[in-house]
Amino acid sequence: MLLGILKETSPGESRVALLPESLKGLKAQGIDISVEAGAGAAAGARDADYAEAGATITTNRADLLASADVLPGVNALDPADQARLKAGAVVIGFLKPLDASSALQAAIERGATLFSMELVPRITRAQSMDALSSMATVAGYKAIVMAADRLPRLFPMLMTAAGTVPPAKVFVIGAGVAGLQAIATARRLGAVVEAYDVRAAAGEQVRSLGAKFLDVDLGGINTEGGGGYAAELTEEALDRGRDLITKTAAHSDVIVSTAQVPGRPAPRLIRREAVEAMRPGAVLVDLAAPAGGNCELTKPGVTQQINGVTLLAPLNLPAEVPVDASKLYARNVLNFLGLIVKKGELAIDLTDEVLAGACVAHQGKPVNPRVAKLLE
Ligand code: NAD
């Protein structure tokens, strides 16, 4: 069996799916590993490190695509690469099957088995494969570090002979995986932190990190959408959150927004007037930008200055911390490979709920019902 590690081709991508340290267990099973030259360079993994770990280095991408049985990646392959796949190859990665399912058509036609890391069920048994959480953790950290860098103020309270500097005030909207890491990072830097989420369960987690949870009366509606996720709210309930956000924005130096509802565009929670209420120099990082953004002024991927407020809308923050993002992602991928590779051979059992959940297509047909519907 040949496992291939390709260089990512998406613009701005710097992560790699497996690191040299990931290869030991695979080599021990007798798996051949071939790495495209430079695949790990931006993530701190040199070709020589992969070679030392037992991989072959190749500059012939087309040949690797045509011969690999398994291709763990970060993003989906482009259609030209998909058309070169070995028939029946297994492709793993963040394949965006629900946002860009038609972009996977060429691989499905090659009979490839596609596993999407976004679709790995978030159940206890699959926690070690939860790449969404790994990447959200990195993004939450990096959002605060970026905001601290842009803010013309200090984060911690400083008491000096020249007087006292008050701490920065940080407001985190959406206290899921990314939001909680943003809160923890802002607290470590000494900021005073407030947070808002529609899930009541988030309140306890926010408080345990030393931040203040802002409660809003949403009229007693159900806010839990199952699996720990939020439900899509009514316009009236959203408006109550928007009012709180506008009020809190006026005294916040930094806002990090992370609110998402799975499979839906991000809720528009931050009105123009909230941004206008912020002080000059304040920073807003809209982590929901890939899903359209939480702020009505957000332009995904574009940094704007609005009345002296910096509005950042990054599309791929984990790629800005490629060494540790790759380290975490590679562990998630390696654990996932453990489900489909037994004693050095592919053994795909689609009755396994983790594999069935993550499988986009198998033997030329869509497997995931939501993807099948999109491809009809
Ligand atoms: P997410 O990225 O879908 O959403 C981020 C946050 O936005 C969530 O906390 C959500 O409640 C919040 N949100 C949605 N609409 C909002 C609104 N209108 N106003 C304010 N906030 C809003 O979620 P996530 O971070 O991936 O995960 C959320 C939760 O899922 C976690 O906190 C956890 O409880 C659960 N989870 C479980 C597992 C597991 O069991 N393996 C793994 C990961 C996450």
pLDDT of residue 371: 81
Q: φ and ψ at 161, to 5 degrees?
A: -65, -20
Query: pLDDT tens digits, residue range 231-263?
Result: 888 889 999 999 999 999 999 999 999 999 887
Percent of the chain with pLDDT over 90: 87
Distance 138 CA to ligand 1 centre (A): 15
> Which residues in 81-90 are b (16+ Cβ under 10 Å) and which e?
bbebbbeebb
Q: Can you tell me the distance from the alpha carbon of 44 to that of 21, in angstroms, rounded to the nearest whole number?
A: 12
pLDDT of residue 339: 98
User: Which ligand 1 atom is nearest residue 233's CA?
Assistant: 18
Q: Identify which of 181, 199, 257 to mutate to test ligand 1's pocket (most ligand atoms within 8 A of the CB).
A: 199
Query: pLDDT tens digits, residue range 279-336?
Result: 999 999 999 999 999 999 999 999 999 999 999 999 999 999 999 999 999 999 999 9
Percent of the chain with pLDDT over 70: 100
pLDDT at 230 over 90: no
- pLDDT-derived band at 120, boundaries 50, 70, 90: very high
Instruction: Name all residues whose Cβ lies below 6 A of ligand 1.
Output: 122, 127, 130, 132-133, 136, 173-179, 196-199, 202, 228-230, 233, 238, 241, 258-262, 267, 269
The residue whose C-alpha atom lies closest to atom 3 belonging to ligand 1 is 260
* 224-226 vs 254-257, strand pairing mode: unpaired
Q: How far is CA 179 from CA 226, 233, 247, 258, 353, in A?
A: 19, 19, 20, 6, 28
325: enclosing H helix or E strand: helix 322-340
pLDDT at 228 over 90: no
pLDDT of residue 196: 97
Q: How confident is the model over 336-343, as a mean pLDDT?
A: 97
Instruction: Just list the catalytic residues.
Output: 122, 127, 130, 133, 229
- pLDDT-derived band at 217, boundaries 50, 70, 90: confident
The residue whose C-alpha atom lies closest to atom 27 belonging to ligand 1 is 176
8 A C-beta contact, residue 128 and residue 101: no
The residue whose C-alpha atom lies closest to atom 35 belonging to ligand 1 is 228
Distance 195 CA to ligand 1 centre (A): 13
Please name every residue paired with 339 in a beta bridge, in sequence order, or none if there are none: none
Tell me the two tokens of residue 176.
Answer: 């899921």
Query: pLDDT tens digits, residue range 139-191?
Result: 999 999 999 999 999 999 999 999 999 999 999 999 999 999 999 999 999 99
Distance 177 CA to ligand 1 centre (A): 7
pLDDT of residue 264: 86
Helix, strand, coil percentages (3-state) for the chain, rounded to 5, are 40, 20, 40
User: Which ligand 1 atom is nearest residue 199's CA?
Assistant: 11
> What's the mean per-residue pLDDT of the chain?
95
User: Which ligand 1 atom is nearest residue 201's CA?
Assistant: 34
Distance 175 CA to ligand 1 centre (A): 7
User: Which ligand 1 atom is nearest residue 260's CA?
Assistant: 4
8 A C-beta contact, residue 105 and residue 284: no
- Residue the block writes with tokens 């506008």: 246
pLDDT at 226 over 80: no
Terminal C-alpha separation, the chain: 33
- Residue the block writes with tokens 């030259």: 37
Tell me the two tokens of residue 105.
Answer: 């058509």
Q: Which ranges of 90-234 would DSSP assign to H, the alpha helix? A: 105-109, 131-150, 177-188, 201-208
- pLDDT-derived band at 340, boundaries 50, 70, 90: very high
* 229-230 vs 224-226, strand pairing mode: antiparallel
Q: How confident is the model over 194-210, as a mean pLDDT?
A: 96
